[in-house]
């Protein structure tokens, strides 16, 4: 099978490397030789690559009937979308690692593939090397997937892990992550949750079979997590993780991206550094967990190559993945329920009645947490409340007592099986 790679950066060059490194095995499993005929780049020379492989003209790839599969590893929505669509319309299989294009146009591209009896695969777009996409639409095809919750962004997980280990501030840890090459110069997509939000939208699409816009998912990043929050989390036996989560309850869909306190009963507690972890709860399977490198040259390229092999095996027909263009309706953030960790001004003395009345359930005991050496604030953990209710209780508490709530963080346990 002759293929083209569009975009020869980290992922594109990794695909070439994996195809060379594991050539014999890949050809055996795919059933044929896989040969790179073109590399689409914006420059005419790439060190170490023969000039005859390089083209700067997409139409050369599009119009070559020998090309049966195209890897898109350019990133961004345009012109990636137009290039992918045009290749599918010509009956060429496309494998993409690009979450932006999959999130924005994935269901349309799957339909185009179906109409032209070819395939659009995108395993590497979520979780890098972790095989979560195929697991959801293939292995879990017979499961009623109730929840998917994951650490989907290695950069923010690296920052949160380091803040906990070293007691450092967000700003200092971000600088360190940038110095080590784990965070971009503009870290917004990672630390403000947008990267996680796109991946969460793709996971919701895979579990629901419907179209989902990441803009409709409540998204909160980790910029407001302080070293003080982290000290409380440590004291309480929690870790703070940036989670992307989707839940299905009967016909209702819930989704959010936010920093969440997780305890040791949740395997996500133990996912440290740049690693990703994705916990899936099925009605028959119960809790399962996928863990591994969510980014990086070879892990991501390995997922792309697994898609190339899938395409070689399903060369002459469309492999349905059950993704329709019907738009999903996501319930508002206010209808999600959590327990809440709250940091409150002053001491608990004199306001215990108000704390209990606003934040605790009947018969629950008030247990204020005070960090050593801090007299200016304390923390409590609320009972389980719907977010809308919690926010109005918090406003009422502040008005009634004149005390400020400095910060709150949601706490989430594992879904009961």
Ligand X SMILES: NC(=O)c1ccc[n+]([C@@H]2O[C@H](COP(=O)([O-])OP(=O)(O)OC[C@H]3O[C@@H](n4cnc5c(N)ncnc54)[C@H](OP(=O)(O)O)[C@@H]3O)[C@@H](O)[C@H]2O)c1
Cis, bond preceding 79 (omega within 30 deg of 0): yes
Residue 294, annotated as binding a ligand: no
Name the residue with tokens 């699409």: 205
Q: Is 6 annotated as a binding residue?
A: yes
Task: Give, for 155, the enclosing helix (H) or strand (E).
Answer: helix 154-166
> What CA–CA distance (Å, rounded) separates 300 from 128?
5
Q: Is 181 marked within a binding site? A: no
Closest approach of Cβ 185 to ligand X, in Å? 13
CA distance 119 to 224: 42
Residue 230 in marked binding region:
no
Least distance (Å) between residue 188 CB and ligand X? 14
Cβ 128 to ligand X, closest distance in Å?
Answer: 5
**Do 343 and 408 form a contact (C-beta atoms < 8 A)?**
yes
Minimum separation from the CB atom of position 37 to ligand X (A): 16
* Closest CB to ligand X among residues 10, 226: 10
Beta carbon nearer to ligand X, 1 or 80: 80
Instruction: Find, among 227, 235, 240, 220, the residue nearest to 170 by Cα.
Output: 227
Give the whole-angstrom CA distance, residue 258 versus residue 243.
Answer: 6
Task: Please tell me whether 244 is known to bind a ligand.
Answer: no
Query: Is residue 164 annotated as part of the catalytic site, yes or no?
Result: no
**CA 97 to CA 174: how far, in whole Å?**
26
Q: Do the annotations mark residue 306 as ligand-binding?
A: no
CB of 41 to ligand X, least distance (A): 5
Q: Considering the complex, state which of residue 209 and residue 296 has its C-beta at the smaller distance from ligand X.
A: 296
Q: Cβ distance 294 to 152 under 8 Å?
A: yes
Is 305 marked as a binding-site residue? no
- In the complex with ligand X, the residue whose CB is nearer, 203 or 225, is 203
Asked if residue 12 belongs to a known ligand binding site, the reply is yes
The Cα-based distances of 195 to 133, 187, 289, 385 in angstroms read 16, 10, 21, 28
Contacting residues toward ligand X, per CB under 6 A: 7-12, 40-42, 73-75, 79, 97-100, 124, 128, 295-296, 300
Dist. CA 412–CA 27, nearest whole Å: 45
Closer residue to ligand X in complex, CB, 100/385: 100
Closer residue to ligand X, CB minimum distance, 73 or 260: 73
Residue with tokens 């790679």: 5
Q: Shortest Cβ distance from residue 325 to ligand X (Å)? A: 22
Determine which one of 199, 234, 326, 412 is catalytic.
Answer: 199
Output the DSSP codes for 114-154: HHTT--EE-GGGTTTTS-HHHIIIIITTTS-EEEEEEE--H
Tell me the C-alpha distance between 207 and 199, whole Å.
12
Residue 155 corresponds to which tokens in the numbers above? Answer: 């950069």
Structure tokens at 69: 């599969």
Strand partners, 242: 259
Binding residues for L-homoserine: 184
Which residues are annotated as catalytic?
A: 199
Binding residues for NADP(+): 6-13
Binding residues: 6-13, 99, 184
């Amino acid at each position: 099978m002759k293929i083209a790679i569009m975009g020869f950066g980290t992922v594109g060059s990794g695909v070439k490397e994996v195809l060379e490194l594991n050539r014999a095995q890949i050809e055996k499993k795919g059933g044929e030789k896989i040969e790179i005929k073109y590399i689409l780049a914006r420059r005419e020379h790439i060190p170490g690559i023969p000039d005859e492989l390089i083209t700067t003209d997409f139409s050369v790839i599009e119009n070559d009937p020998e090309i049966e599969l195209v890897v898109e590893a350019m990133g961004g929505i345009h012109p990636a979308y137009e290039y992918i669509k045009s290749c599918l319309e010509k009956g060429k299989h496309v494998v993409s690692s690009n979450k932006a294009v999959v999130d924005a146009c994935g269901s349309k591209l799957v339909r185009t593939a179906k109409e032209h009896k070819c395939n659009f695969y995108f395993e590497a777009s979520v979780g890098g090397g972790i095989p979560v996409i195929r697991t959801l639409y293939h292995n879990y095809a017979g499961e009623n997937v109730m929840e998917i919750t994951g650490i989907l962004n290695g950069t923010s997980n690296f920052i949160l892990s380091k803040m906990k280990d070293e007691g450092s501030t967000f700003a200092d840890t971000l600088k360190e992550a940038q110095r080590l090459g784990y965070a971009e110069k503009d870290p917004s997509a990672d630390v403000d949750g947008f990267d996680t939000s796109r991946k969460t939208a793709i996971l919701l699409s895979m579990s629901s079979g419907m179209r989902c816009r990441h803009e409709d998912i409540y998204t909160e990043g980790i910029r407001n997590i302080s070293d003080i929050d982290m000290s409380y989390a440590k004291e309480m036996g929690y870790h703070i993780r940036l989670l992307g989560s989707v839940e299905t309850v009967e016909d209702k869909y819930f989704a959010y991206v936010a920093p969440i306190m997780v305890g040791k009963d949740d395997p996500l507690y133990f996912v440290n550094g740049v690693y990703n972890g994705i916990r899936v709860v099925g009605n028959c399977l119960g809790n399962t967990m996928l863990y591994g490198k969510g980014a990086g040259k070879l892990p991501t390229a390995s997922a792309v190559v697994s898609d190339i092999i899938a395409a070689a095996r399903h060369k002459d027909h469309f492999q349905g993945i059950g993704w329709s263009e019907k738009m999903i309706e996501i319930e508002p953030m206010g209808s999600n329920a959590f327990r809440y960790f709250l940091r409150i001004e002053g001491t608990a003395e004199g306001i215990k009645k108000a704390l209990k009345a606003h934040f605790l359930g009947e018969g629950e005991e008030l247990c204020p947490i005070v960090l050593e050496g801090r007299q200016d604030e304390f923390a409590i953990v609320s009972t389980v409340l719907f977010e809308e209710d919690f926010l109005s209780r918090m406003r009422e508490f502040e008005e009634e007592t004149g005390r400020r709530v400095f910060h709150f963080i949601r706490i989430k346990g594992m879904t009961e099986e």
